[in-house]
Structure 1
Amino acid sequence: MRLATFNILHGRSLEDDRVDVDRFAAAIGSLDADVVALQEVDRLQERSERADLTAVAAEALGASEHRFVAALSGTPGATWMAATGDEQPDEAAYGIALLSRLPVHSWEVVRLPSVPWTVPVVFPGQRRPKLVRDEPRVAVVAVVEEPATGRCLTVAGTHLSFLPGWNTWQLRRLVRTLRRCSTPVVLMGDLNLEPEAVRRSTGMRPLVEADTFPLTQPQRQLDHVLVGGEGAGGLRVQRAGAHRLPLSDHLALTVDLA
């Protein structure tokens, strides 16, 4: 079973600063993964050719099971509101996705606590802080079955806040939710935390260690694939690594499990 996680930067390439849907489809297809967690996913946004990027990725992978979960409704960086789950399919939205080529027994959405006020942040190249409103954060959880053995695995995908402290709080909240699962649990996504902070907050075992950000000269691991829960000790890593694809400002991670 191959797992993958990728912050796709809504499909944009740093080379030409544009979204090419065909290029995006080819990049996702090249991962050849059975279960994929995607972050920074657009649906019907002008900047990404008004494409449903989850549907594009699912077709490229041959993933019959997939869920897009909106974190916000509207336009990122402009006018938006926190998503509630009641959005219509023809509404512009932005969030995360989980895709599976394996049968899925159940789906669950976990909405995580978000910062209720604007926060001063100093961005690279700027001297003065800028007040920013952090985006809402969510997780999507699926129980997947490996047909060859009939065994089930709970897989969760998420994208946590970039604000220190809040991301740790969100991660601990999500892990508490996942602890009730009766299967091994894999947590994937852009956690905006480095490995030591992730280990302290989760107690889960990392399946891949590789710097994933920034794309050109990766120096930090912000993206993770973790395992824990009942029966997790029986999962073995055959191969794992980071992959530079022709889009995004992150590397993708893949893990082959036995």
Structure 2
Amino acid sequence: MKRIATVLAATLLTAGLAGPAASAGPPPVELTVASYNIHAGIGTDGAFDLDRTAAAIAATGADVVALQEVDRHWSDRSEYRALVDELARSLDMHARFAPLYSLDPAEPRQPRREYGTAVLSRLPIAEFTNHDLTRMSTQDSGAGSRPMPGFAEVVVRARGTLVHVYSTHLDYRGDPSIRERQVAETLDVLADDGGAPRVLLGDFNAEPADGELAPLWAEMDDAFAAAGTGEGLTYPSSAPEKRIDYAAVSAGVDVRGARVPATDLAATASDHRPVVADVAVPRRR
């Protein structure tokens, strides 16, 4: 009888020790994300240099990078080149491009002239959507505000976990009314993906305390505010005074760190500096 009691006690102790570990689940998936307004590959010296842009992106070490102000055969400022395609090849990354404008070429039988946002990813891309936001066109001054594309969403496969990553570029005008509408529409898009890990990246053209961003911070966490190192100022790149470029994450995504590079390359390759965040997302069981 004494032996049976001893065995039973040992079994219960082992079960008690094993229980919490067994219920803890798999470790989260860690990845690095970045947002970078590349200014069409034009640096602070006014020179177009796509190799320099690629080097600045590579220096972030990011697995997924959201880009803004991306040209594809747009104009002579970027030599009519397809920037995202060339960057993807040189960096060995997957790419998706979300044109805001898609215009007829200047000459027949030439590619369409396009400009918008993009996402580069070392991880496989499972899905892609080019969403509309309310915008005021810079190409048609009489058109007023209306839904226009250019809000990129990709779903990346991060070691078995699907993560929704977005690249956005909000209105630049001093009047915040368009940005207010864009934030509301952005939250509607993100709500459609509710329950999934979500990372919103972009040039918001507003500082953290600006009123138009308040509804966003009620739903998402500002990665730099959560775990940033330094001041995080991103614009203008040569001597930053404002923090207008962001990584924002949904509930359940843990921010392990965030930073804005302070290198000479980050200060010269564009008129913005990139913002980089290390995050961890729950692993799918």
TM range (shorter): 0.7 to 0.9
Does residue 104 of the first structure (1) align with residue 120 of the second (2)?
no
TM-score, normalised relative to structure 2:
0.73
Mapped contact 2:34–2:64 kept (Cα < 8 A): yes
Moved more, 245-254 or 108-117: 108-117
Give the fraction of aligned pairs with identical amino acids, expressed as a percent: 32
Residues in 2 aligned to 1:22 and 1:51: alpha-carbon distance in whole angstroms: 13
Q: Residue deviations 1:176-207, cap 9 Å, x none?
A: 11112130111100011111236512121001
1:49 equivalent among 71, 76, 79: 79
Q: Which 4+ runs in 1 deviate beyond 6 A?
A: 116-120, 131-135
Does residue 257 of the first structure (1) align with residue 267 of the second (2)?
no
Residues in 1 aligned to 2:144 and 2:181: alpha-carbon distance in whole angstroms: 17
Does residue 154 of the first structure (1) align with residue 168 of the second (2)?
no
1:188 equivalent among 196, 201, 204: 201
Secondary structure, counterpart of 2:179 in structure 1: helix
Measured on the aligned residues, the alpha-carbon RMSD in Å equals 2.9
Residues in 1 aligned to 2:110 and 2:97: alpha-carbon distance in whole angstroms: 10
For residue 242 of structure 1, what is the amino acid of its counterpart? V
Does residue 212 of the first structure (1) align with residue 234 of the second (2)?
yes
Mapped contact 2:95–2:118 kept (Cα < 8 A): yes
Secondary structure, counterpart of 1:215 in structure 2: coil
For residue 25 of structure 1, what is the amino acid of its counterpart? A
For residue 166 of structure 1, what is the amino acid of its counterpart? I
Residues in 2 aligned to 1:132 and 1:90: alpha-carbon distance in whole angstroms: 25
Q: Specify whether residues 241 and 201 from structure 1 end up closer, same or farther in structure 2 by C-alpha distance, changes over 3 A only.
A: same
Residues in 2 aligned to 1:206 and 1:175: alpha-carbon distance in whole angstroms: 14
Mapped contact 1:72–1:94 kept (Cα < 8 A): yes
Give the drift of 1:89. 8.8
**Partner residue in 1 for 2:181:** 169
Mapped contact 1:212–1:218 kept (Cα < 8 A): yes
Mapped contact 1:137–1:161 kept (Cα < 8 A): no
**Partner residue in 2 for 1:248:** 270
Greater C-alpha Rg: 2
Give the drift of 1:137. 5.6
Q: Specify whether residues 25 and 112 from structure 1 end up closer, same or farther in structure 2 by C-alpha distance, changes over 3 A only.
A: same
* Pairing of 1:48-67 with structure 2 (within 5 A): 48-63=78-93, 65-67=94-96
**Partner residue in 2 for 1:237:** 255
Mapped contact 2:134–2:145 kept (Cα < 8 A): no
Secondary structure, counterpart of 1:179 in structure 2: helix
Mapped contact 2:99–2:149 kept (Cα < 8 A): no
Mapped contact 2:71–2:83 kept (Cα < 8 A): yes
Residues in 2 aligned to 1:22 and 1:214: alpha-carbon distance in whole angstroms: 21
Mapped contact 1:104–1:143 kept (Cα < 8 A): yes
Give the drift of 1:134. 8.3
Q: Specify whether residues 3 and 36 from structure 1 end up closer, same or farther in structure 2 by C-alpha distance, changes over 3 A only.
A: same
Residues in 2 aligned to 1:250 and 1:117: alpha-carbon distance in whole angstroms: 20
Give the drift of 1:158. 0.7
Mapped contact 1:241–1:253 kept (Cα < 8 A): yes
Mapped contact 1:117–1:133 kept (Cα < 8 A): no
Unaligned runs of 5+ in 1: 81-87, 121-130
2:56 equivalent among 27, 50, 53: 27
**Partner residue in 2 for 1:84:** none
Residues in 1 aligned to 2:124 and 2:139: alpha-carbon distance in whole angstroms: 41
Give the drift of 1:8. 0.7
Residues in 1 aligned to 2:125 and 2:112: alpha-carbon distance in whole angstroms: 26
**Partner residue in 2 for 1:12:** 42
Give the drift of 1:173. 0.5
2:156 equivalent among 144, 169, 176: 144
User: Quick check: which one's helix share is greater?
Assistant: 2
**Partner residue in 2 for 1:39:** 68
TM-score, normalised relative to structure 1:
0.80
